[in-house]
Amino acid sequence: MARTLYQKIWDNHIVHQSSGEPAILYIDCHLVHEVTSPQAFAGLRMAARKVRRPDLTYATVDHNVPTWSRSLPITDPVAKAQVDALVRSCAEFEIPLYGLDNPNQGIVHVIGPELGLTQPGMTIVCGDSHTSTHGAFGALAFGIGTSEVEHVLATQCLRQFPSKTMQIQINGKLRTGVTAKDVILFIIRTIGTDGATGYVIEYTGATIADFSMEERMTVCNMSIEAGARAGMIGPDETTFAYLKNRVMVPQGSEFDEALTRWKTLATDPDASFDRQVDFDVSALAPQVSWGTSPGMVTDVTGTIPDPASFAREEQRRSAERALEYMGLRPGTRVQDIGIDRVFIGSCTNSRIEDLRAAARTAQHKHVNSRVHAMVVPGSQRIKRQAEEEGLADIFRNAGFEWRESGCSMCLGMNSDTLNPGERCASTSNRNFEGRQGRNGRTHLVSPAMAAAAAIAGHFVDVRNWEETA
Amino acid sequence: MKPFTVHRGIVAALNRANVDTDQIIPKQFLKRIQRTGFGEFLFYDWKHRLDGSINPDFELNQPQFAGATILLAGTNFGCGSSREHAPWALLDFGFRCIIAPSFSDIFFNNCLQNGMLPVRLTETEVAQLFELCKTTPGFSLTVDLTNQRISDEAGNDFRFDMDAFRRHCLLNGLDEIGLTNQFEDHIRMYEQSRI
């Protein structure tokens, strides 16, 4: 029978299936970070259980770590206790740890692909919803809660019911200045924040085929913002070229064997999906979120919508509440909205191509005097590469702060937060109330859009950047 | 895990869509390394004004909802971050059951792992419950997982779905790791087949 990529990976990982029960699914790679793991390790200790496969488990610290300097101790005692707990647990259970002093430390969804831990056909889980990022490599990757983290640590398996499948086909050549971030924001805007609940999405089409691995990761990363269990993209030559010679990827003849296996993963031509949605992105404008949910998005050339224009009562109430929180009025032009802060970073947009795009926009210019802007690379490797390429100097010369790697102001668990009322152009993934700091106002945009906003002091259409700058 | 069989309690109404886990438990409270003690931080930024005082406008601060153990909510409840601290906070605060038209996948699973019952009813049924909650003083419901029914004293009765396996685990308070470990031979064979 013809099968999708998702169904092939699912079938390959069934350890046991009893009728009417969730399958016991084997997990190939378990990524662990400091915030969602301490209670799982405590549970293991209480039940005198071991980590079944420490060799398939990898840990890093990213969520609450400071990004100012690696030479200073963590000053927040509660955050320090959490980081220390992970260090102790990794030592006790013999799990490899990319700790604060490790040259490979970084955001868990950045270092997995970077080190080659993420490979096609794998099942990958992590106690973090943005685990969907790894689906860009043709892996089945999804976020889990702490109890499930404990379950995977103890058994290397998870209990899962199969998901429905959704194909999102994307065609059309993007205009200069329009990016993968704009594509995924537009998709969420269209299908809604629960549009893919219960589904695993496979992204297909010419636009996706043309995307680099980093662009594909940006798309898959935000699948969760549409409610999807996972997002994935069939592995192709772009995927294989990215993986070749990565530290944890097999080398030589073993690589060739892996390649043969990976090439069988593509969705069969006559396989069917439970739902299909098509997009033509050739006329897409850069996207800017205006509200407190990642589906509340409009074109940079657009205006703030009137809550009364929404079809359903629940949507109207949500929009009213969002506009009150965001301090915005219906009809305001997006490009007239001034900003106070800029955050370039997060597991969505902190990779080298993101930083290059932002640096191109910022080169020979200066951050607006009313704006405080920061760039937080996704990993120590990216930080070093950006410094070698001269990107860090471009940012610093333009007045951006250049930080150490971590999740930083995507969720503001460390001291990188917005003050009440501050408005931020952010390359992250969530614009929820208080996400970046209590009463902070987040607008989700691409790296180039964020850099342009930092310089102009308000949103601008980067498609016209050369003329306006 | 505490079993869930039949639960009767006061219903608190939170008629908002897309309530995300960042609201349920804001990030500043995620640094604890225990599973307990999150209840006082539930919906912290909505419950409190910026100066730390109680926000009387927030639904759950309304006196009629004091002691509520069932939460009635809008669509896509628990979306966003996978933090299990969200169900821990709801549970620690006293909730045993959440009723909504839809939940995010991860939050739904996280509830089940903690003996808290997430119930999906249709949008029409949830709208009816919101109305009843508004018009009935001390509105209470009985949630019966054995028979998969929710009912009130006036005779309103709703049926809900729950897959047999999850239902069995909840009814008996079973530890899922223990259940999976019964398949140790299968796991070992699977691992050997892949070497």
**Tokens 């796991």 sit at which residue?**
B187
Question: Residue A317: what residue type?
Answer: R
Nearest CB to B82 within list A38, A82, A143: A143
Collect all residues of chain A within an 8 Å Cβ-Cβ radius of residue B163.
20, 22, 161
Residue B119's DSSP bridge partners are: B99
Q: Which residues pair with A287 in a beta bridge?
A: A299
Pairing of strands B117-120, A341-344: unpaired
Give the chain B residue whose CA is nearest to the CA of A411: B27
Q: What are phi and psi of A44, to 5 degrees?
A: -60, -45
Q: Which of A28, A32, A148 is the best mutation test for B, with the most CBs of B within 10 A?
A: A148
- Provide the domain limits for residue B110: 6-193
- Closest partner CB to A432 (pick from B50, B80, B179): B80
What separation, in Å, do the N-terminal and C-terminal C-alpha atoms of chain B show?
36
Instruction: Tell me the shortest Cα–Cα distance from B2 to chain A, in angstroms.
Output: 14
Give yes or no for a contact between A372 and A344, defined as CB atoms under 8 angstroms apart: no
Q: What is the pLDDT of residue B194?
A: 85
Residue B18, min C-alpha distance to chain A (Å): 8
Which chain B residues touch A85 with a CB distance below 8 Å?
A: 33
CA distance A289 to chain B (A): 16
- Whether residue B31 and residue A81 make contact (CB cut-off 8 A), yes or no, is yes
Amino acid (1-letter code) at residue B161: D
pTM over 0.80: yes
d(CA B174, CA B166): 10
What's the confidence (pLDDT) of residue A469? 53
pLDDT at residue B162, as a whole number: 96
**Which chain B residues contact residue A79 at CB under 8 A?**
31
Task: Inform me whether the pLDDT recorded for B97 exceeds 70.
Answer: yes
Residue B17 has its nearest CB partner, among A39, A314, A430, at A314
ipTM of the complex: 0.96
Pick B27's closest partner by Cβ from A151, A159, A413. A413
Tell me which residue has tokens 């219906």. Answer: A330
Instruction: Please count the structural domains in chain B.
Output: 1
Residue B84 lies in a domain: yes
Q: Would you say residue B108 lies in a domain?
A: yes
More confident residue, B2 or B14: B14
Please give the pLDDT value at position A366. Answer: 97
> What per-residue confidence (pLDDT) applies to B41?
97
- Closest chain B residue by Cα to residue A195: B76
State the best of B14, B31, B55 to mutate against chain A, taking most chain A CBs within 10 Å. B31
Nearest CB among B18, B30, B164 relative to A293 is that of B18
Indicate yes or no: CB of B81 within 8 angstroms of CB of A159.
no
Residues 6 or more apart in contact with residue A70 via CB below 8 angstroms: A100, A101, A404
Which chain B positions have a beta carbon within 8 Å of A21's beta carbon? 164-165
Is there a domain that residue B58 lies in?
A: yes
A318–B50 CB contact, under 8 Å: no
Does residue B1 sit within a domain? no
List chain B residues with CB under 8 Å of A156: 187, 191
Residue A278: strand, helix, or coil: strand
- Tell me the three-class secondary structure of chain B, residue by residue: CCCCCEEEEEEEEECCCCCEHHHHCCHHHCCCCCCCCCHHHCCHHHHECCCCCECCCCHHHCHHHCCCCEEEECCCECECCCCCHHHHHHHHHCCCEEEECCECHHHHHHHHCCCCEEEECCHHHHHHHHHHHHHCCCCEEEEECCCCEEECCCCCEEECCCCHHHHHHHHHCCCHHHHHHCCHHHHHHHHHHCC
Predicted confidence (pLDDT) at residue A467 exceeds the cutoff of 70: no
Closest by Cβ to B84, choosing from A36, A63, A433: A36
Angle at which helices B164-172 and B105-112 cross, to 10°: 40
The partner residue sitting opposite A147, judged by closest CB among B80, B104, B110, is B110
Q: Cβ A197–B105 below 8 Å, yes or no?
A: yes
CA atoms within 13 A on the CB side of A302: 16
Measured CA to CA in angstroms, residue A346 lies from A127, A279, A361 at distances of 16, 26, 19
Query: What DSSP designation does A461 have?
Result: -
Among A68-72, A220-224, A389-393, B131-135, whose mean pLDDT is lowest? A68-72
Q: What is the pLDDT of residues A358-378, one digit of tens each?
A: 999 999 999 999 999 999 999
Q: Min CA distance, B176 vs chain A (Å)?
A: 8
Residues paired with residue A33 on neighbouring β-strands, in sequence order: A60
Predicted confidence band of residue B175 (pLDDT cuts 50, 70, 90): confident
Nearest CA in chain B to A26: B187
CA A226 to chain B, closest CA, distance in angstroms equals 9
Residues of chain B found within 8 Å of residue A315, distances taken between Cβ atoms: 17
Question: What is the pLDDT at residue A468?
Answer: 59
Tell me which chain A residues have a C-beta less than 8 angstroms from the C-beta of B80.
129, 224, 430, 432
pLDDT at residue number A69: 87
Work out the average pLDDT over A74-102.
Answer: 95
**Which residues from chain A sit within 8 angstroms of residue B113, using beta carbons?**
145, 147-148
CATH number of the CATH domain containing B141: 3.20.19.10
For A29-73, the pLDDT digits (tens) are 999 999 999 999 999 999 999 999 999 999 999 999 999 988 888
Contact B22 A430 (CB under 8 A): yes
Tell whether the torsion through CA atoms of B135, B139, B143 and B149 is positive or negative. Answer: negative
**Span A136-142, average pLDDT:** 98
Torsion of CA A168, A463, A441, A371, to 10 degrees: 150
For residue A251, what pLDDT is reported?
A: 96
pLDDT digits (tens, 9 = 90+) for B5-34: 999 999 999 999 999 999 999 999 998 888
What is the pLDDT averaged over residues B32-55? 94
Nearest beta carbon to residue B75 from set A194, A229, A434: A194
Residues of A in contact with B110 (CB under 8 A): 145-148
In DSSP notation, A171-208 reads: ESPPPTT--HHHHHHHHHHHH-TTTTTTEEEEEESHHH
Q: Are A129 and A164 in contact (CB under 8 A)?
A: no
Flag whether pLDDT at A97 surpasses 60. yes
Is B50 within 8 Å of A193 when comparing Cβ atoms? no
Average model confidence (pLDDT) across chain A: 97
The pLDDT tens digits of the residues spanning A184-204 come to: 999 999 999 999 999 999 999
Q: Give the type of residue at A30.
A: H
Chain B positions touching A157 (Cβ under 8 A) are 180, 183, 187
In this predicted structure, what is the pLDDT of residue A351?
98
Residue B16 lies in a domain: yes
Distance to chain A for B45, nearest Cα, Å: 7
pLDDT of residue A115: 98
In angstroms, the separation between the Cα of residue A44 and the nearest Cα of chain B is 10
Confidence label for A142 from pLDDT (cuts 50, 70 and 90): very high
